[in-house]
Chains A and B, each alone.
Chain A
């Protein structure tokens, strides 16, 4: 009898600190599987964010660096320019990439850095207690919008992928979801494509993943997946944006 599914070599066999049903565990595993399948384990350098995934380097078994909050793409730019032979990627949440780090994100994309970005969009600030994020949906309740996000006071959900797609330096942007087995398979394909773009020198690639946060959405893990499919994916349509 053969083992047909097990945890990837690039993912340490340790329990994570994530809440039950959190999408970070899935995203970590898919990236580790892609790294293994492309044979990049000795070549890859990850830049971890600030946010729930701040200790991602404890879970991935390849080289990682940490960056100040929102500055992952600035750090990754430095690493890639000094070590162009390495495959450098950042892993950032919506608070890191789309709030405090918007500046670094836009300029790294505009410079057309040959980097790969994994953007985990769960529509709340997870680590700090479920506050409203720029990507929070209208009418979504969070700890700082207890009556739901109101466009008049808090503006509209920020669609960073669509914004970045306007820049000529950006070569590939796809929005995927972690909401079902089928979507997870598509997500892995997008991750591999983003890595291949960097290997082939094509340029800046970003994969946005709609990811469940059951704790701060106030839903069970199974209900969170339904929420992604039925509500979140309507505001953030899936597919190749560029």
Chain B
């Protein structure tokens, strides 16, 4: 089972490699990838250096080009595919059917992974992508329960990669347009959800307000921890109640499920967080390296498990983790 870690920049990439990632994934400095953050991602030169660093140490490199090009951006996206191919990455992570087709025709020997943004939630959908575009692997959306993942693992025609740790998307990825409804950017169009350029913090008599393009996402009282206003994690009013109507600000952690995922034959576990610091990537990779290695053991080591869970918890949003949709009770 591969451990796939985020590389938002070169220092993070090196940390992930040093701490034992089997693969790292990165994107270019434009809207072609789903983590377009200011100051993040790779130039050609940096990518070259990172790929050299990783591959010479036995670590694979995947390139995420997983947003949806429109006609006026088509050439920028195909250029990113060509660039990744010429840099010698081990696989492309793609979502758009047109771009998958372009990659399959233009670079047939370069592995194609279906991004989580491709929204494949059934073995039939996986078969469609495999037959039409020859995908080798698919990253599953975070909306599936463990029993659904189990069904898929049994019938999937391709390798499966699942999210193990990091931010939790509660909507089926690739088909969530909430961000572009409130701002002019979405993960699909610009690789951004609740973009920082649209965020305003305001101290008011009613508390600290977090607004996204003017829309009040949450209001924090003194002593409350104020998290980034990702729009689906704010407090809203439904009926007479004001609460986290969509989701609490928590992170996903599937540490407890790891032995099960391994037994199901899941090919890779993925750590989310290209936007996080190199220090974060180092810590998370270190813990998960140990956990993945230990997952095959006959006797689970509950003491070590607890220690890992505690370390991960400290690194999580609001210091809270959840099994998310993997666990039925979440729903």
A and B bind: no
Q: Which residues of B contact A (CB under 8 A)?
A: none
Q: Which residues of A contact B (CB under 8 A)?
A: none
